[in-house]
Chains A and B, each alone.
Chain A
Amino acid sequence: MASPDREERAAPRTWRKPPFIANPLLRYGLLVVLAAYLVWAFGSLPFNWERISEGLPRAARIFGGGFPPTLSRFDLLLTGFTESLQIAILATLLGVLLSVPFAVMAARNVAPLPIYLLGRAVIIVSRSFHPVIVAILFVAAVGFGPLAGILTLTLYSIGFVGKLLAEEIEEIDWGQVEAMRSTGAGYLATLFYAVFPQILPRQVGLSMYQLDSNLRASAVVGIVGAGGIGSTLMNAFGRYDYDFAFAILLVIIAVILASEGVSGWVRKKIW
């Protein structure tokens, strides 16, 4: 079919994607500013090339000392990992359980304003610091060891799971809540019947993800003294046992890969 358009216009029509930033002045201005910043940043940061070149052979020595990795102190590795796993599982359980009430408090549609603000505040505070910083605080407060790790990761879990769960609660089908209220159900009964079943799959998924994430984080917070495999790793480095340290790193990677696989599989099954 010959369209009338084609007969009128000889040249083929062209189309180009409209630019993301419509104003050309702004578009090119931003690029210039970005380039200027990069030049300034690289120019002014104190890179000491001498020290970097001195460090390279040292790095080579460390890596060289790491090969081949050795599992000579396997019992130490095992103790460290068991502790990390215990920290991660306990912190996940505590965090996930505690995140439920905080999530309810922080969901605008089921909490009155003062409670909502309190719930949001708790979640914001527990999310504002990286676990390592929290771990440093807890190590100072309760001393070296797994307790500091558990407290750190529990707080971390409350923040993360609580926030996402609160958002999930805010998006539930409100009709079910109305139905429960219309039967004369009280506040808690309404929560248990109309709200929790709706957020359950999300909660399970988040718990699995959080276990995964806590396992990872438990290795990191151990470095600042909060127990687990991180502490073992730090000790190995401190004693120049690079081959053992490398073995630990490899095992951490393996464990995290495995846990990611398992949690992904479980989440897919339950969703």
Chain B
Amino acid sequence: MLEISNLIKRYGRDEPVLKGLDLTVEGNSVVSIVGASGAGKSTMLRCINRLVEPTSGSIKLNGIELVTLRRAELRRARRKIGMVFQGFNLIDRLTVMENVLAGRLGYVNLFQAVTRRYPAADIERAFVLMERVGIAHYANKRADELSGGERQRVGVVRALMQEPEVLLADEPTASLDPRTSEQIMVLLQSLASELSLPVLINIHNVAQARTYTDRIVGLRHGTMIFDGAPSDFDKEALEAIYGGIEAPEDEAAPAAEEVRDGQP
């Protein structure tokens, strides 16, 4: 169970990007988070695995407080939080298998990681998951030789290799064509129920959010203004979330910059 309460994120002295967010996600539900660019969707997701440092508030994953964790503890906690990215973020020059096994980096030691001597169980799990999403025959191909949809499958499998307790997907279909993006949404939906895994998906495509998720959360200017079933997400809600927002790019740009500034 993921419990976010009163989450605030402020970059420098600017107006907060997240203004006291509360959200609880239980069981294997698939939650989509919608909102205009700059509404704070990506920041919220990144606060959960601390790619972005929350300013204040609490985020608990199965009872463990994530906001206050330090170094080694944080790394241990991150193993339980899988993340899928809009740009896939695969290691282009490595093979598909290496990318998939990278999901185990939080578990293996540096020698195993550098020499690619992963435990047999990890390799078996990698093959099983790759077969599940239909990319097993690409195991020894370089990741940048795959198509967009295939690359995102690698991204999903890498996240699942972590044996996560929650899966975060930051606009996982935004770089894909409509058909492929539907396939990825179906995949995320069915994986959630197969692995009984809660999934949080940032998404721009409201139609897909309605079709493939159990619950829609709407953000606007860092505040939650909608939380309910897809059937309740009507024109009014849509207007409230996206209406009258001008030049969203201007708001998104500084946030994206800040995200890149972090230390490893």
Contacts and interface: CB of A to CB of B under 8 A. Distances in A.
26 contacts: A109-B260, A110-B263, A110-B264, A175-B85, A175-B87, A176-B90, A178-B85, A178-B89, A178-B259, A179-B155, A180-B105, A181-B78, A181-B264, A182-B49, A182-B51, A182-B78, A183-B103, A183-B106, A184-B78, A184-B105, A185-B102, A185-B113, A186-B75, A190-B264, A193-B98, A193-B105
Interface string A70-112: 0000000000000000000000000000000000000001101
Residue from A177, A185, A194, A197 with most neighbouring chain B CB atoms (10 Å): A185
B114 interface: yes
B148 to A, nearest CB: 15
Given A110-B264, A193-B105, A184 B89 contact: no
Interface in A136-190: 173-190
B103 A192 contact: no
A198 interface: yes
Interface residues of A, number: 28
Given A184-B105, A193-B105, A179 B78 contact: no
A190 B98 CA distance: 13
Given A175-B85, A193-B102, A197-B93, A188 B110 contact: yes
A184 B106 CA distance: 4
A176 B102 CA distance: 11
Interface in B58-88: 75-79, 81-83, 85, 87
Contacts of A179: 83, 85, 89-91, 102, 155, 158
Contacts of A30: none
A185 B103 CA distance: 8
Nearest to B48: A182
A185 B93 contact: no
Contacts of B82: 182-183
B110 A189 contact: yes
A120 B194 CA distance: 51
A200 interface: yes
Contacts of A200: 93
Contacts of B263: 110, 112
Contact of A194 (B49, B91, B104): B91
A25 to B, nearest CB: 41
Given A176-B90, A179-B83, A180-B105, A189 B113 contact: yes
B48 to A, nearest CB: 10
A189 to B, nearest CB: 5
A178 B91 contact: no
A190 to B, nearest CB: 5
Given A192-B113, A192-B114, A183 B91 contact: no
B162 interface: yes
B94 interface: yes
Contacts of A187: 264
B125 to A, nearest CB: 14
Nearest to A199: B93
B264 A183 contact: no
| 7 pairs of A and B residues whose beta carbons are closest in the complex | A184-B106, A185-B105, A184-B79, A179-B89, A175-B89, A184-B78, A197-B93
Given A188-B110, A194-B91, A197-B94, A182 B81 contact: yes
B106 A177 contact: no
Contact of B75 (A112, A175, A184, A193): A184
Given A189-B105, A192-B114, A193-B105, 4 more contacts: A179-B90, A184-B107, A186-B75, A194-B91
Contacts of A173: 89
A112 B264 CA distance: 9
Contacts of B93: 197-198, 200
A181 B51 contact: yes
Contacts of B113: 185, 189, 192-193
A189 B78 CA distance: 14
Residue from A110, A182, A185, A200 with most neighbouring chain B CB atoms (10 Å): A182
Contacts of A197: 91-94
A113 B116 CA distance: 32
Contacts of B91: 176, 179-180, 193-194, 197-198
Contact of B158 (A110, A183, A188, A189): A183
A187 B75 CA distance: 10
A184 B162 contact: yes
B83 A182 contact: yes
A235 to B, nearest CB: 47
